[in-house]
Amino acid sequence: MAVLLFIVFIDLLGFGVMIPLLPFYGLHFGGSPAEVTWLLGCYSLAQFVAAPLLGRLSDRLGRRPVLLLSLASSVGAYLWMGFASALWMLFAARLLAGAGAGNIAAAQAYITDVTPPEERAKGMGMIGAAFGVGFTFGPAIGGFVAGAEQTTAALARPAFLSASLSALAFVLVLALLKESLPAEARNARRRLGRLQFARVALARPALRRLIMVFCAVVTAFAAMETTFALWANSAYGWNQKQVGQFFLWVGILLIVVQGLLIGRLSRRFGEARLALAGVALIGLGLTLLPFALSLPLLLASSACLAFGMGIFNPSVNALISRQAAIDERGGIMGVAQSGASLARVVGPAAAGPLFALLGRDAPYYAGAVVVALALALALKIPRARPAAGAAGEAERAS
């Protein structure tokens, strides 16, 4: 598992490098605020299509080939972005990068293959920590590499760095990562198509509720992420370097929670209670953010957001994974990630017009309302681990 976590870190470091640059990159090519948010959101649109496909493909072929395919597409996408000379090229490259990012379902399925159910939240948390480290150092590195200038050459440098990091991750998968899915478990349930499999999965009430909560929270969080650079520029006059430093703070909190605390917290409180607490903290952070016109309050609101997402994300993914048998883990995680990807499209798509028409705080008020609805739904998540039905069968099968 250590090899996979390092590979995820390298890949996400490359993704994180681009986070503080993309809004300014889009504006450099004449994009409007709405187009900038769509530049971020189209990545998730491609991920929405690719995640369940790659997840099911990993159930048939194994996790390793899918990871190699997706990393190769990421290399091509970042190179295209670096050589872009028009806004449409940025959109096309982001779509290709998003398709490659569907590999998160295969990575999560890999974790479920190699961890027992009681350790699954910790395993998901370690993936989250790898994400967090990538988001911690990636934006800071991206801001440093680009510098304060907003020339085409300066903004392209982080894209070439991201391509190099994805290429390194590809080599590491090829050389070091062993296949986790047993040969006898591959090609199972192959007669179900992607859409049919999704319908069957969502027919399970517990799984459907978990995915709905997951998607609602991600919608609100994505709306915040994609407008924060514009909000911080309006409220504080920050440039891309300062936004990168802010994400450094958020990333450190995520690393601490997901890398050091989530295992202990899940054993003490259980994934369902942690997921509920995470939703509540995210709602509080979004509510406070419009009022965060001083740095201490901004740090406090972002701490609520980071700690909330830090306990929510691995907990809800662990709960979702328990609904899957060994021959459908990639598919189930793919359905969940596809829903989250759609949420990352809907969130930015709504946030851009809200920001432009109703003011810089509107996306956060709207997000707080969405999270409140998710909290009401999360209250219905069973507190105890399921012992029968689809989840029980899934755990016995694993």
Query: Is residue 186 in a domain?
Result: no
Query: Is residue 8 in a domain?
Result: yes
CATH of the domain at 343: 1.20.1250.20
Query: Is residue 315 in a domain?
Result: yes
Query: Is residue 192 in a domain?
Result: no
Label residues 284-302 b or e (16+ Cβ within 10 Å = b). Answer: bbbbbbbebeeeeebebbb
Tens digit of pLDDT at every position of the chain (398 positions) = 677 877 777 777 777 787 767 777 788 788 787 777 777 768 777 877 887 778 778 878 888 888 899 889 989 999 998 898 888 898 999 899 888 876 777 787 788 787 776 677 777 777 777 776 776 677 778 878 877 666 666 778 888 988 998 898 899 888 888 887 777 666 555 555 566 667 777 778 888 889 999 999 999 998 888 788 888 888 888 876 777 778 778 878 878 888 788 888 888 888 888 999 999 999 999 999 899 888 889 889 989 998 999 899 888 988 888 877 776 777 788 888 888 878 877 887 788 888 888 888 899 999 999 999 999 988 887 664 433 334 343 443 33
C-alpha span between 49 and 42 (Å, rounded): 11
C-alpha span between 98 and 81 (Å, rounded): 13
Task: Quote the distance between the C-alpha of residue 216 and its chain's center.
Answer: 13
Q: Quick check: 56 and 194 in contact, CB under 8 A?
A: yes
The pLDDT score that the predictor gives to residue 284 is 94
Query: Is residue 189 in a domain?
Result: no
Picking from 238, 246, 292, the residue whose alpha carbon sits closest to that of residue 24 is 238
**∠168-76-65 over CA atoms, to 5°?**
60
**∠10-226-308 over CA atoms, to 5°?**
75
Query: Is residue 193 in a domain?
Result: no
Query: Is residue 195 in a domain?
Result: no
pLDDT tens figures, 42-101: 877 787 788 777 877 887 888 888 889 988 998 999 999 889 888 889 899 989 988 887
Quote the strand ranges of 234-303, DSSP E. none
Q: Quick check: 86 and 218 in contact, CB under 8 A?
A: no
The pLDDT score that the predictor gives to residue 305 is 92
C-alpha span between 281 and 144 (Å, rounded): 31
- Where in the sequence is the domain holding 112, given as residue range(s)? 2-179+201-397
Number of domains in the chain: 1
C-alpha span between 304 and 317 (Å, rounded): 20
The pLDDT score that the predictor gives to residue 213 is 93
